């Protein structure tokens, strides 16, 4: 990498950190590109040479964070034990734990995914292939071990679980972000148990 | 809406004049609501300012604020009005159904058909629901309560008629049903799914959710 590329990467990193913190502390709508530049100690122009819009900054902040989360998962996954329901519970619990560290940021990301003015440089919330694959893998193993009926559409189960998972963040949204991860995980565990009642072989 | 004004001072005041004033006020509200609906649909909730809405309605921002306390009240009034339009149909669809699945699919079919027709407004309303103030959240919950009551009724009838087990966790079942119903709008938004496709998906999801609850 040349000096210019180094500089560009450093600016990018600084902007992403500043934006992440401002979105979480002040709010996404309330944060301007100018404020991000100021916090990052770079010029407004250099933010715009790296990102086309604030929506794109948010999108990159989130994908940057996911890299962190999935590094955690790479370490943890081999050690997951217990029934299919137990392992799904652990996967969701880790997600709740991770996202509640900066819950306002996360809620802004979800909200932005419904915003009518989403631009093309943005990867919206809900398009997360890693989470989907992890859940499918657990269910698939459950089928092989006879815990899950083989005639079920596993992607349909995954979609149902993900819908419940995502909508539990409503608890955080409704309370201004004051709900601890453990509370959301506890509700999720009950939802998993309920759906598990239906996937067991009879 | 009540047309009885607190400004009535004496019996000699002409009722025609009062009504005319009340009607003018009503017309102003309607003009604001129509302009707001269009702008929220085009620009999203954050993208539409009171100033834009006033301009589109052909009046001053002051005139808008005379009818509505703030933007969130204006937005909620639109959503509540929409909700009132479909609530009766949802109730009817649910109560006329023979089975739990029919009842749930029936009431959500009404909602899907209505909202898919005006997807931009729905997108704005879901976006707002993730970041709105606690006061706005409490007000929005009142509308939700009605829908959860309908779901609850459908489940109770399912238990009484022996379709569902007696010991089901009705609240949890209702919540997951709601989660997948709302979650499916993403398919309409991002993948252009039709109402029929959404209902087919919902029907499959209900089978997954209720598999363990069937009697």
> Which residue segments constitute the domains of chain A, with CATH numbers given?
1-51 (1.10.10.60), 62-199 (1.10.357.10)
Is A192 within 8 Å of chain B by CB? no
Q: Is residue B12 part of a domain?
A: no
Residue A114 pLDDT = 83
| B interface test, pick of A29, A114, A149 with most B CB neighbours within 10 Å | A114
Is the predicted pLDDT of residue B12 greater than 60, yes or no? no
| Interface contact B134-A176, CB threshold 8 A | yes
In a domain, B30, yes or no: yes
**How far apart, in whole angstroms, are the C-alpha atoms of residue B92 and residue B204?**
23
Does B114 lie in the same domain as B168?
Answer: yes
The model's pTM is: 0.86
Size of interface A-B (CB pairs under 8 A): 117
The verdict on residue B195 lying in a domain is yes
Radius of gyration, alpha carbons of chain B = 21
Q: What is the ipTM score, two decimals?
A: 0.86
Chain-centroid distance, C-alpha B112: 11
**What number is the average pLDDT over the span B11-34?**
78
The answer, for A149 touching chain B at a CB cutoff of 8 Å, is no
Triad A115, B140, A54: Cα angle to 5°? 20
Q: Give residue-wise pLDDT tens across range B133-157.
A: 777 777 777 778 889 999 999 999 9
* CB pair distance less than 8 Å for B176 and A164: yes
Q: Looking at the structure, do residues B88 and B138 belong to the same domain, yes or no?
A: yes
- Touching check for A159 and chain B: CB below 8 Å? yes
Instruction: Please check whether residues B59 and B78 belong to one and the same domain.
Output: no
Give the domain extent around B121. 70-210
State whether B94 and B192 are in the same domain.
yes
pLDDT category at A178 given cuts 50, 70, 90 is confident
Examine the domain organization and report whether B31 and B79 are in the same domain: no
**pLDDT tier at A193, thresholds 50, 70, 90:** very high
- What is residue B18's predicted lDDT score, i.e. its pLDDT? 66
Q: Which of B47, B68, B89 is the last residue of a domain?
A: B68
Residues of B in contact with A108 (CB under 8 A): 130-131
Asked if residue B162 and residue B93 are part of one domain, the reply reads yes
Q: Maximum CA pair distance of chain B? A: 70
Whether residues B59 and B141 fall in one domain: no
CATH number of the domain that residue B30 is part of: 1.10.10.60
Q: Is residue B7 part of a domain?
A: no
pLDDT in tens, A161-170: 999 999 898 8
State what percent of residues in chain B have pLDDT above 90: 62
Interface check for A156 against chain B (CB to CB < 8 A): the answer is yes
Min CA distance, A158 vs chain B (Å)? 10
Residue B31 lies in a domain: yes
Q: B132: which chain A residues are within 8 Å (Cβ-Cβ)?
A: 173
B183 with B150, same domain? yes
Same domain, B62 and B99: no
Residue B107: per-residue pLDDT: 96
Record: contact B46-A190, CB cut-off 8 A: no
Q: Average pLDDT, stretch B197-201?
A: 97
- Residue B8 falls within a domain, yes or no? no
**Residue B6 falls within a domain, yes or no?**
no
pLDDT tier for residue B8 given thresholds of 50, 70 and 90:
very low
- Quick check: A178 contacting B, CB < 8 Å? no
The CATH number that applies at residue B198 is 1.10.357.10
Chosen domain end from B32, B47, B68: B68
Whether A92 shows a pLDDT value over 90: the answer reads yes
- Chain A residue with Cα closest to B203: A156
Instruction: Answer whether residue A110 shows pLDDT above 90.
Output: no
Report the number of distinct structural domains present in chain B. Answer: 2
Percent of chain A at pLDDT above 70? Answer: 97
Residue in A107, A152, A197 nearest the CB of B130: A107
Q: What is the 3-state secondary structure (H, E, C) of chain B?
A: CCCCCCCCCCCCCCHHHHHHHHHHHHHHHHHHHHHHHHHHHHHHHHHCCHHHHHHHHCCCHHHHHHHCCCHHHHHHHHHHHHHHHHHHHHHHHHHCCCCHHHHHHHHHHHHHHHHHHCHHHHHHHHHHHCCCCHHHHHHHHHHHHHHHHHHHHHHHHHHHCCCECCCCCHHHHHHHHHHHHHHCHHHHHHHCCCHHHHHHHHHHHHHHHHCCCEC
B211 to A198: CB separation less than 8 angstroms, yes or no = yes
B132 shares a domain with B60: no
- Looking at the structure, do residues B115 and B22 belong to the same domain, yes or no? no
pLDDT at B17: 64
pLDDT tens-digit series, residues A71-85: 888 888 888 889 999
pLDDT of B27 strictly over 60: yes
**B110 and B206 in one domain?**
yes
Mean pLDDT over A78-98 rounds to: 93
- So what's the pLDDT on residue B14? 53
Report which DSSP code applies to B169.
Answer: -
B93 inside domain: yes
Query: Percentage of chain A with pLDDT > 90?
Result: 55
- What is the token pair recorded at A130? 């890693």
- pLDDT tens track for A145-157: 999 999 999 999 9
- Residue A52 scores a pLDDT above 70: yes
């Amino acid at each position: 990498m040349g000096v210019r590329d180094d500089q560009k990467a450093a600016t990018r990193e600084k902007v992403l950190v500043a934006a992440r913190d401002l979105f979480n502390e002040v709010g996404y709508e309330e944060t301007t590109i100018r404020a991000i530049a100021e916090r990052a100690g770079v010029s407004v122009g250099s933010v715009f040479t790296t990102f086309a819009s604030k929506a794109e900054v948010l999108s990159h902040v989130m994908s940057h964070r996911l890299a962190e989360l999935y590094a955690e998962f790479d370490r943890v996954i081999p050690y997951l034990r217990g029934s299919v329901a137990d392992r799904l519970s652990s996967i969701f619990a880790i997600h709740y734990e991770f996202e509640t560290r900066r819950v306002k940021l996360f809620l802004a990301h979800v909200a932005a995914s419904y915003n009518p003015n989403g631009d093309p440089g943005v990867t919206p919330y809900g398009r997360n292939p890693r989470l989907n694959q992890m859940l499918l893998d657990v269910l698939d193993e459950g089928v092989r071990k006879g815990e899950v009926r083989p005639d079920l559409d596993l992607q349909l189960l995954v979609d149902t679980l993900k819908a419940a998972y995502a909508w539990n963040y409503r608890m955080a949204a409704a309370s201004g972000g004051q709900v601890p991860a453990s509370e959301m995980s506890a509700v999720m565990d009950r939802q998993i148990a309920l759906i598990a009642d239906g996937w067991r072989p009879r | 809406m009540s047309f009885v004004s607190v400004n009535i001072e004496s019996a000699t005041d002409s009722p025609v004049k009062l009504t005319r004033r009340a009607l003018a006020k009503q017309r102003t509200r309607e003009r604001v609501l129509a302009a707001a609906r269009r702008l929220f649909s085009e620009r999203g909730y954050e993208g539409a300012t009171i100033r834009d809405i006033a301009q589109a309605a052909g009046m001053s921002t002051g005139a808008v604020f005379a009818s509505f306390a703030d933007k969130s009240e204006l937005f909620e009034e639109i959503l509540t009005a929409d909700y009132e339009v479909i609530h009766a149909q949802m109730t009817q669809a649910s109560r006329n159904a023979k089975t739990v699945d029919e009842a749930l699919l029936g009431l959500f079919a009404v909602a899907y058909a209505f909202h898919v027709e005006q997807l931009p407004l729905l997108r704005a309303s879901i976006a707002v629901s993730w970041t709105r103030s606690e006061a706005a959240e409490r007000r929005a919950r009142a509308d939700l309560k009605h829908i959860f009551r309908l779901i609850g009724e459908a489940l109770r009838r399912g238990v009484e008629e022996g379709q569902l087990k007696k010991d089901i966790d009705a609240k949890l079942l209702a919540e997951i049903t709601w989660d997948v119903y709302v979650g499916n709008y993403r398919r309409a938004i991002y993948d252009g799914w039709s109402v029929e496709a959404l209902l087919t998906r919902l029907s499959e999801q209900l089978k997954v959710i209720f598999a363990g609850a069937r009697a």
